Amino acid sequence: MDDQTQALAADPAAAGSTLGRLTEKLPPHVWFGVSAVFHYLGPAFAVLLFPHVGVLGMAWLRIATAALIFAPLTHPWRTLSRAERSSRLLLLAFGACLAVMNCSFYLALDRLPISLVAAIEFVGTIGVAVIGLKTPRNLAALAIAVAGTLLLIDVKWSSDPLGLFWAFLNGTLFVGYIVLGHRVARSGAGGGIAGLGAAMAIAFIIVLPIGFRDALPAFFSPPLLLAAIGVGICSSVIPYICDQLAMSRLPRASFALMLSLLPVTATLIGVIVLRQIPGLTDCLGIALVVAGVAFHKPAR
């Protein structure tokens, strides 16, 4: 283990042995599956809270919740103080990416349909997958998954240029999340949870002056505050931890390809929670995405 790895694995009690053992016992696809489910549960709840705390206020509460949960578990300042300069810069970049990505994601959702935001977000992951999936078999798997995703997502263009700006910014930063998150995951113990905790603390410092005023109403309404905390746990704690545990064992291109499953989980959540029954085209899209992911072979 080199100095960078030792720095990012800076002895977080809860992120070490327990999560490390779970990471080895469960396949990385299980962790990704959990993340995929919560990836859509969190935003669904967040949109309902926009009228009460504002868009940036909700982003602030989401990041603050995650940072406060991670802090006693991962000791972010210890991780940062022990890190080598290159590791510290990596964590700073990851934290900044998390902060701006979450804000731009919510700002896009406030102006555009979630299907369009998701479609734009998925464009960047295709690029990441293409770069790493070099075999004909894996490129064919990617093509099948993309075809299925296009069937699932009813993409309607928008005349809202500001909304499109936030959506494309979010999509660009989502690629950064994959690339930087993968580096952090491969550099730390317990699936890089220590590095994630440090990055989340950095993200909180960045958004601290941005959304605090909008978030104030939540502190005077216990039900609203509890709901916001729930959104933070669903959006930035459970999925990010699971992503780190999956990234630590999956090649980056394979992880990017598996992100094509997100529209599938969104459809299934719609059936279970919202009673939105998919049509024949949606079912065909689900089948193609699952087939593409199953057909692809991770690099050794």
- 12 contacts 79 by C-beta, under 8 angstroms: yes
Structure letter (DSSP) for residue 190 = G
Tokens of 42: 């969190």
| Close Cβ partners of 229 (under 8 Å, ≥ 6 residues apart) | 61, 65
What's the burial of 23, exposed, middle or buried (CB within 10 Å: 0-12/13-18/19+)? buried
Q: Is the pLDDT of residue 10 over 60?
A: no
**Exposure of 215 in the CB half-sphere (CA atoms within 13 A):** 23
User: What whole-number distance in Å separates Cα of residue 248 and Cα of residue 260?
Assistant: 19
Distance CA 259, CA 262 (A): 6
Residue ranges covered by each domain of the chain: 3-295
**pLDDT classification of 19: cutoffs 50, 70, 90:** low
Q: Read off the pLDDT band of 233 (50, 70, 90).
A: very high
Task: Decide which of 266 and 87 is more confident.
Answer: 87
Average pLDDT over residues 62-68: 94
Confidence label for 200 from pLDDT (cuts 50, 70 and 90): very high
pLDDT, tens digit, for every residue of 131-190? Answer: 666 677 767 777 777 777 667 665 555 678 898 899 889 988 988 988 888 888 777 544
pLDDT band (50, 70, 90) for residue 62: very high
Ranking 98-112, 160-174, 185-199 by mean pLDDT, the lowest is 185-199
User: How confident is residue 23, by pLDDT bands cut at 50, 70 and 90?
Assistant: low
What is the length of the chain?
A: 300
- Cα separation, 166 vs 170, in Å, equals 6
What separation in angstroms does the CA of 171 have from each of 61, 91, 130, 174, 271? 22, 20, 16, 5, 26
Give the pTM. 0.74
Quick one: pLDDT at residue 225? 92
Tokens read off for 129: 């997958």
Q: Which two tokens stand for residue 99?
A: 């902060």
Q: What angle do CA 66, 29, 197 make, to 5 degrees?
A: 20
pLDDT of 157: 58
